Amino acid sequence: MAKLNPFEIVQKQVDKCAQILKLDPQVTAVLKSPMRELHLSLPVRMDDGTIKVFHGFRVQYNDARGPAKGGIRFHPDETIDTVRALSAWMTWKCAMVDLPLGGGKGGIICDPKTMSSGELERLSRIYMRNVFQFIGPERDVPAPDVYTTPQIMAWMMDEYSAMMGKSQFGVITGKPIPIGGSKGRGDATARGGMFTIREAAKALKLDLRKATFAVQGYGNAGYYAAKLAKEMFGAKVVAVCDSKGGKYNEKGIDPEEAFACKEKTGSVRNLKTGKAISNEEILELDVDVLIPAAIENVITEKNAGKIKAKIIAELANGPTIPEADDILYKKGIHVIPDFLCNAGGVTVSYFEMVQNFSLYPWEEAEVQERLDKKMTAAYNSVLKTSRDYKINMRQAAYVIAVKRVVEAMKLRGWV
C-alpha cells in the first residue's frame, strides 16, 4: 500500500468542507497551506561522545484567531507533511472549542525509546534554542504530543527562560505542576474525550454502564481513556494494545494493572490474562466504543467495513482516512472526529496559559468543570450541524471550525 500522506488528507478534507460551505476558491487556497514553517538540523552530543544530527520542524499553520498552539512530537517516522497536517488539525481544533488560538505543530525525527534522559534533554534544549525566535507566549505555544512528556516541556521552558533572562512559563504548556503546569492537564485529552462520549451516548441512547470499550494505544491518551471509562461510566474495558500488541479479555481489563504492566515490561501485551491481539485486530472487535488513541491512518478503506463498534471516539490525531469515513457513515457508526474528541488537551493547555498569564493557579475541579462545558457545547454543536446539513460528524466539525477561521481572516483583512 502506498504510504498515505496526511497533508493530502487534510487538503481533501478542506476541499470537501469548501464545497459544503461554497467557499470562494481564493479563501480555500489560503486554508490549504501553512503560513510559516521552520526546518532545523540539530547536532546533539550523544552519550558515547559522537555527534548526531537530528532533523526537526515547527509549522505555524494559521494564526488568524490568535497565537499558534500545538504539540511537539518525537517520532522516528516524522515527516514535514505529517507536521503540516497536524498543524492544520490544531487550527480547526482550537477553533472547534472556540479558543482564542491558532494552530501549529512541531516534530523531531528521533526514536526516544532508544535515547538516554541526557540525550533527550540535550535534544530538547537545542530544539528550543533554534525555535526561540519563532515562538513565544504571544506567538506560538508548544505542548506535549506523541512521545514527549512534562519533563521535556520543563527543559524546553527552562531553555527559553534562560535565553530571555526571566521565567517564561507561558511559552509552553503541559509542564509539571510545580513549574506552572495546570492541575488536570495530565488526563485532559482523555477526560475531554469522555465528555464527548457521554454526550454521544445520550444521543444514541446507549447505556455506558453496560458498555464495552477497546482502546488502541496506551500512552497518555489511551491509558487515561481506559481508566476514565471505568471510573466515570463504570464501563468495561475489554481490550487494550500499544505499538507492540495487546490483550483482549471479555471479563474486563484493569486499566491500572495494564499501566503497571507497560511500565514494567514495556508493553501491555505482557498482561498475564486474556487473549493476545494485534493492534489491527483490536479495531475490529465487537465492542460498543472503540478508541483509537495512537497514531494516524489506522482506519482505512481496508478495515472500515469490518468495524463493529457503535461509537468511534478518535483520541488520536488523524486515525481515519477520508475513504473510510464514507464507509463508516454509511454503516451508521457514530464517529466523534479527532479535532473534536481530543480537543480536551489543548483546552486545558489554554487554561494553563491563562493561569500562567494571571499568576493564579486553579483548583482541579474548576479545570474539569470548565473543560466539561467546552467539550459538551462543542460536541452538541457538531451533532446539530451534522443533522441540519445531513453530513458526517467530521464534515460538521469542519464546517463549524473553518467558518470561524474564515471569519477571523476576513475581519483581519487577509481575504
Catalytic residue set: 105
Contact call for residues 197 and 311 (beta carbons, < 8 A): yes
- For 95, left (φ over 0), alpha (ψ -120 to 50), or beta? alpha
- Of residues 17 through 56, those in contact with ligand GLU by CB under 6 A are none
* Selection from 64, 56, 79 nearest residue 142 by Cα: 56
Binding of residue 70 to ligand GLU (CB under 6 A): yes
* Residue placing its CB nearer to ligand GLU in the complex, 195 or 329: 195
Main-chain dihedrals φ then ψ at residue 125, nearest 5 degrees: -70, -40
The contacts found for 2-8 with CB under 8 angstroms, 24 or more apart, are 4/296, 4/297, 4/300, 4/321, 5/81, 6/81, 6/82, 6/84, 6/85, 6/86, 6/296, 6/297, 6/318, 7/81, 7/82, 7/84, 7/85, 7/88, 8/81
Q: Which stretch binds ligand GLU (CB under 6 A): 255-263, 283-291, 345-353, 393-401?
A: 345-353
CB atoms within 10 A of CB 174: 29
Let me know if 26 is exposed, middle or buried by CB neighbors in 10 A (0-12, 13-18, 19+). Answer: exposed
Per rule CB under 6 A, is residue 60 in the interface with ligand GLU? no
Length of the chain: 415
State the minimum distance, in angstroms, from the CB of residue 71 to ligand GLU: 3
Contact between 381 and 343 (Cβ < 8 Å):
no
Q: How far is the CB of 350 from ligand GLU (least distance, A)?
A: 8
Among 88, 324, 346, 383, binds ligand GLU (CB under 6 A): 346
State the nearest-atom distance from the C-beta of 395 to ligand GLU, in Å.
20
What is the smallest separation between the CB atom of 173 and ligand GLU, expressed in angstroms?
Answer: 5
Residue 297 makes contact with ligand GLU by CB under 6 A: no
Asked if 284 and 304 touch (Cβ cutoff 8 Å), the reply is: no
Closest among 343, 342, 347, 286 to 313, alpha carbons compared:
342
Instruction: Pick the binder of ligand GLU from 28, 82, 297, 317 (CB under 6 A).
Output: 317
Please check whether residue 408 is in contact with residue 64, taking contact to mean a CB–CB distance below 8 angstroms. yes
Least distance (Å) from ligand GLU to the CB of residue 141?
Answer: 7
Stretch that binds ligand GLU, among 31-39, 155-163, 338-346, 390-398 (CB under 6 A): 338-346
- Restricting to residues 73-132, which ones interact with ligand GLU according to CB under 6 A? 93
345 binds ligand GLU (CB under 6 A): yes
Using the contact rule CB under 6 A, the part of the chain among 53-61, 63-71, 223-231, 292-300 near ligand GLU is 63-71
Q: Is the CB of 180 or the CB of 274 nearer to ligand GLU?
A: 180
Q: What phi and psi, each to the nearest 5 degrees, are found at residue 316?
A: -80, 165
| Helices marked H in 274-392 | 322-331, 338-341, 344-358, 364-389
Q: How far is the CB of 342 from ligand GLU (least distance, A)?
A: 6
Does residue 349 bind ligand GLU (CB under 6 A)? yes
Residue 143 lies near ligand GLU (rule: CB under 6 A): yes
- The residue (of 13 and 173) whose beta carbon lies closer to ligand GLU is 173
Q: Report the residue from 71, 112, 184, 192 that binds ligand GLU according to the rule CB under 6 A.
A: 71
Q: Does 314 bind ligand GLU (CB under 6 A)?
A: no
Positions touching ligand GLU (CB under 6 A) are: 69-71, 93, 143, 145, 173-174, 317, 342, 345-346, 349
